[in-house]
Amino acid sequence: MAKGKKKKPSGGDYGYNRQARFKYELLDTLECGIVLTGTEVKSLRTHGCMMGDAYVDVRREELWIQNLRIEPYAPAALNNHLPDKPRKLLAHRREIDRLLGQMTTNGLTMVPTRIYPKDRRIKVEIALARGKNVADKRQDMKERDMNREMQRALRERSR
């Protein structure tokens, strides 16, 4: 298999959690704001972020995103931010209560799926997710391979 370039987030996204779709079955999504400092915003716009192991935690009925890595902004030398600090998410109380209710009754978790700009603000899309077992992951890989083979055959046939 040929080694390709690193896949970049889709148009305008600052970060995308590819592992979330592989590890979890995503059930419901919610758009939230995020509390950031100036250097974090500048760093997001230039470098993006790493969301590999990020998850959403609930503390005192507030949503906090953990393990979201935003690299330090080089020109800000002394006034820089901590790259791995927890960041607060902004959502309405009724949305938080609805998510908490579903998490406790159904045994779900919340994971961030992407970070993107919207109307001069930065938004985080979080999803309620249920963990996949090994058989589900294998089934997804099998379907993806079958679709790839089908597309390849169609492409060769149309030549």
Average pLDDT over residues 64-90: 88
pLDDT of residue 8: 52
Q: Which residue has the higher pLDDT, 56 or 6?
A: 56
- Tell me if 158 sits within 8 A of 67, measured CB to CB: no
* Tens-digit pLDDT profile for residues 105-155: 887 889 999 999 998 899 999 999 888 888 888 888 899 899 999 999 999
Structural domains of the chain sorted by starting position, each given as residue range(s) with its CATH number in brackets: 15-132 (2.40.280.10)
- Which residue, among 41, 34, 124, has the nearest Cα to 81 in the 3D structure? 41
Neighbouring CB atoms inside 10 A of 17's CB total 26
Q: Report in angstroms the alpha-carbon separations of 102 from 32, 51, 127, 135, 140.
A: 17, 23, 12, 25, 25
pLDDT of residue 1: 46
**Residue 9 predicted with pLDDT over 80:** no
Residue percentage of the chain with pLDDT more than 90: 33
